[in-house]
Structure 1
Amino acid sequence: MTLCSKFVKIISDYYKKKKGSRTFLVIEYIISIWFILGICGLLAYGLSLAFWYYLDSPVLEEPELKDWRSQQLLETTGSETPTTPLPTTTTSFKSTTASRQLISTTTSNSKLLPAASCGKRIVGYFMAWENADLRQEQLRKLTHVIYLFATIQVPGVIKLDNEKRFLELKDKAHSLKSDLKVMIGVGGHATSFRLSLILPDDGKRKILIDSIVSSIDEHDLDGVDIFWIWSWMEDKLHYPKFVRELRKALNNLKSSKKRTEDYLISIIVPPKIETIEEGYNINEIVKSVDFLNVLTYDYYFNGDRIGPHSPIYGGTRGNIDETMKYLVCETRQPIKINMAVPFYGTFWRNASLPLQDGSEEIWKEKGEATGPFAVRWRELVPNGWHKSIARFHEKSKTSYIWIPETKPFLTFEDERSLAEKAKYVKDHQLGGILISAIDQDDDQSTLLNVVSSADICSQKEKDYIDYICDK
């Protein structure tokens, strides 16, 4: 018997024995039962919210550490525990920065960034839940900055998380008077599942599009990144229609504002080819978007393996080279494809060395190890990781730390691995690099400096295909 039904039985037995006016007792009994059912309903709703969070993330293994589940919750709520639903209405926030004029001439941003000189992109995610202060010198090293997140409410309106942090980003970005593009990421780990319910419905889809366009107009933004985890088979038909209609609505806004440049649309794309094939009609989507942000990390993750989270080559369960080859060969537009690099590391405790130099497999069975756990680049030293002892794995082109005595294994990006990724972008004429996220870097912008100063321009034609495609 459930707890709620036990309460109902207790109340029933109590009123059977209680003396007094029958009419009054019946009314009092009904009120008591409704009160209990209301409490039970709220409890069930809270449990359903927790269940949705559980579906979106792997299971916690060591609650005292910021593991991957905690990272997912941090990315959506700013807390390691689920919160109550956000209100369904949007709130208007006034910025202190006046509406800016777009600058079409060469500016300080393009002078500082080698990538900007040839139309390539250095895109940085900036997170609502991080605590690191935003510095203008970070923004000067980007071509695009995307604020995460504007969450999706019922029935389709969007609401910015941590409005104060968003306005700080927007004001500092606009005050640069540069070509830096400022965008918002719509969706996220907690609320993007609602897109599956919204997109098939013409009315709800229009509400969402109108809300996105209104937010871009109100805050004088340059575009939107659709951060959907993930589109599935039943969504495959509706996703292209959504981005087509969003493009049309933004073109209408452009005309009404007499804006000279198009508003930007980007979407995130998962790293696994199987997931892309199942849930994305990528050739239709790419017609309406300006670029694809491919989240090329966490390849190891299936719960039972340990290994590099962002390998360029190697392994039998996917890598960056395989993902990029697939997308370029499908779309024939390498210039629209950005490679993501994580500014956080992933580690396990009590791990045997997973990297296999003499094997095609670069991951190892998890065995007795615990993890994975996430650690920001800025937190490596405070958490006892000595970057000076890092090794470099030639096969996967990744950096790692493994200590035989205590057996922690950490896979992360450093100056050397980022240089390899920049070289890959240049060699294969990809569109640019996406940083996830700039506020996980240290105060010296160590990793951002490597990415922003990298020469990713090549002398090849814009749509040059540097892969041997099967079709």
Structure 2
Amino acid sequence: MLCIRLIWLPALVMMLVRNVTSTVTCDIPCLEQDAIYPHPTDCSKYCHCSWGTPYEKTCPPDLLFNDLYKYCDWPENVVCSSSSTTKSTVTDGNTSELTAIPTTQYQPPKKKVVCYYTNWSQYRLENGFFPENINPDLCTHILFAFAQIVWDPSTAQYHLATYEWNDAAMYNRVIQLKTQNPSLRVMLSVGGYSHGHEIFANASKTESTRAAFIDNVIIFLREHKLDGLDVDWEYPDGSTKSQFSALLREIRQAFERESEEAKQERLLLSAAMASGGWVINIGYDLPAITPSLDFLNVMTYDYHGPWSVPQVMRHHSALYRSSIDEIYNIDWTIKKYLAAGVPSSKLVVGIPMYGRYFIMANPKKHDIGDPFVLPEEQTYSSMPYYKICEKRKLPGWSETLHPEHQVPYGWYDDKWVGFDDVSSAQRKAQYVCNQALGGIMIWSLDCDDFSASYCGEGKYPLLSKINTVLETCSGSS
């Protein structure tokens, strides 16, 4: 009888492959030089690609391969639709007998659907959002945004802290969704745009500051029964590039040690990653940080907004390039990450559940590339999808699909809005399938029409369409 909760495969497999003498291989292509894949016919096995050769490995007794997390796990945590059985010889050294082992036809890995939950959406007077509004079957991971890093003068250390007065209770309410979807993972996201760069830089400055912070992170996550950490540092720069790499590496190492010592499932680690080339070039050592991360949530939105120079209207989350905007688009960003050696299976593409609007300089000039003006008073430039649905019903509303960017935009009165609708969400999800990427991240749950009160497209129209498309390329039911 096993005395451990699970086997973490990457480290174990690397140890075994160094001493491998078996020539048994899997009948699959190695898409990456070093990677782990499900076995094409047998859920009790997996395939480890080492230097281009797919070696067949067998899980310990009573365990099945969990493709979502790449380790051998208890059967109740694994989706494995058995379609046939094979006979395997089991021997005690004197006799042998045939034992039925469940097998299944090969299915592509299940795509991740990473959903950000915002702890401030509860305060919205119109359409307030709470954990009970989440459909847990539409997400593989829920990322609770945000926690913060604070300096504790009593211990002279940096540690995690909640933002809102009821965050701890909200953690529990989100975690309760696992009763409806046991495979759901709930992670804590720390940072965010308003959190700032300096506190991350200080907390990660030295090995000792990082060690103290990481110890606190593990305690905090375990106390609140969370499944992992999402690091949203916006953004590392040239002076903190190595600190970011070290922070992620040491968090991952600590998570692995803690899992082994506590005999618990390893805490997950992801990061919110920039979409702009400047930050990618200056702030990220991608070959160094990628091995530490389970997945990378690429924020492929907010390419443009009222902050843009020159002051011309452009879509903030275009799928493809155009003749006047070649690099601020999802395809360009993803190809840049792939060119840096990031495995496609780790890249999670961000889709905004909101649009960005501008004030047109001339309401008669409403094409992409036409000028905008700044409002007299500073206002938010984002508009949730459910509000866009309201605007689409106005008598003066017009919209069109940009033929190159493959995303819609609309205009009414003096406002111009670039957004995603069900059709563009479908195209972006299909792009993820075509590029064999890891999945889709949405920002954020509360901005979709979660109550089916505005768009006439059912509950969660954008997120539902994303799931429908990803299921066609994931082999998920």
TM-score, structure 1 normalization: 0.67
Is residue 349–residue 439 contact of structure 2 (8 Å, CA) maintained in 1? yes
Corresponding residue of 1:365: 371
Structure 1 counterpart of 2:435, which letter? H
Cα shift at 1:394: 1.7
Corresponding residue of 2:383: 375
Q: In 2, distance between residues paired with 1:381 and 1:275?
A: 34
Mapped pair 1:213 → 2:179: no
Spell out the pairing of 1:288-307 with structure 2 (5 A cutoff).
288-301=292-305, 302-303=307-308, 304-307=311-314
Spell out the pairing of 1:132-151 with structure 2 (5 A cutoff).
132-135=129-132, 138-151=135-148
Mapped pair 1:341 → 2:351: yes
- CA change 1:129–1:136 in 2 (3 A) is closer
Cα shift at 1:458: 4.3
Corresponding residue of 2:192: 188
Greater share of strand: 2
**Which of 79, 94, 101 is the aligned partner of 1:106?**
79
Helix, strand or coil at the partner of 1:318: coil
Structure 2 counterpart of 1:349, which letter? I
Corresponding residue of 1:424: 431
Structure 2: tracts of 5 or more residues without a match? 1-73, 82-106, 123-128, 152-156, 452-458
Q: In 2, distance between residues paired with 1:205 and 1:138?
A: 36
Cα shift at 1:351: 4.4
Q: Deviations over 1:320-367 (max 9, x none)?
A: 1110000011124011001001111111223457776xxxxx534335
Spell out the pairing of 1:62-461 with structure 2 (5 A cutoff).
103-106=76-79, 118-131=109-122, 132-135=129-132, 138-154=135-151, 155-162=157-164, 163=167, 166-193=170-197, 194-259=199-264, 261-301=265-305, 302-303=307-308, 304-314=311-321, 315-352=325-362, 362-367=368-373, 373-381=381-389, 386=394, 389-403=398-412, 406-442=413-449, 443=451, 444-455=459-470, 458=473
Corresponding residue of 1:469: none
Is residue 327–residue 333 contact of structure 2 (8 Å, CA) maintained in 1? no
Is residue 137–residue 181 contact of structure 2 (8 Å, CA) maintained in 1? no
Question: Alignment RMSD, CA only?
Answer: 2.8
- CA change 1:372–1:151 in 2 (3 A) is closer
Q: Deviations over 1:56-109 (max 9, x none)?
A: xxxxxxxxxxxxxxxxxxxxxxxxxxxxxxxxxxxxxxxxxxxxx99422299x
Structure 1: tracts of 5 or more residues without a match? 1-100, 109-115, 357-361, 461-471
What percent of counterpart residues are identical? Answer: 24
Corresponding residue of 1:76: none
Helix, strand or coil at the partner of 2:355: strand
- CA change 1:236–1:457 in 2 (3 A) is farther
If asked which structure has higher relative contact order (CA below 8 Å, sep 6+), I would say 1
Helix, strand or coil at the partner of 2:139: coil
Q: In 1, distance between residues paired with 2:365 and 2:332?
A: 21
Is residue 390–residue 399 contact of structure 1 (8 Å, CA) maintained in 2? yes
TM-score, structure 2 normalization: 0.67
Q: In 2, distance between residues paired with 1:124 and 1:446?
A: 14
Q: In 2, distance between residues paired with 1:171 and 1:332?
A: 31
Cα shift at 1:383: 6.1
Cα shift at 1:312: 1.0
Q: In 1, distance between residues paired with 2:348 and 2:168?
A: 29
Q: In 1, distance between residues paired with 2:237 and 2:474?
A: 38
Structure number, greater radius of gyration: 1
Q: In 2, distance between residues paired with 1:354 and 1:264?
A: 48
Is residue 423–residue 456 contact of structure 1 (8 Å, CA) maintained in 2? no
Structure 1 counterpart of 2:387, which letter? E
Q: In 2, distance between residues paired with 1:134 and 1:374?
A: 22
Q: In 1, distance between residues paired with 2:269 and 2:302?
A: 24
Q: Deviations over 1:109-143 (max 9, x none)?
A: xxxxxxx9723100000001002123366111111
Is residue 342–residue 436 contact of structure 1 (8 Å, CA) maintained in 2? yes
Is residue 248–residue 289 contact of structure 2 (8 Å, CA) maintained in 1? yes
Structure 2 counterpart of 1:174, which letter? K
How many pairs align?
Answer: 345
Cα shift at 1:253: 1.7
Corresponding residue of 1:92: none
Helix, strand or coil at the partner of 1:216: helix
Helix, strand or coil at the partner of 1:305: coil
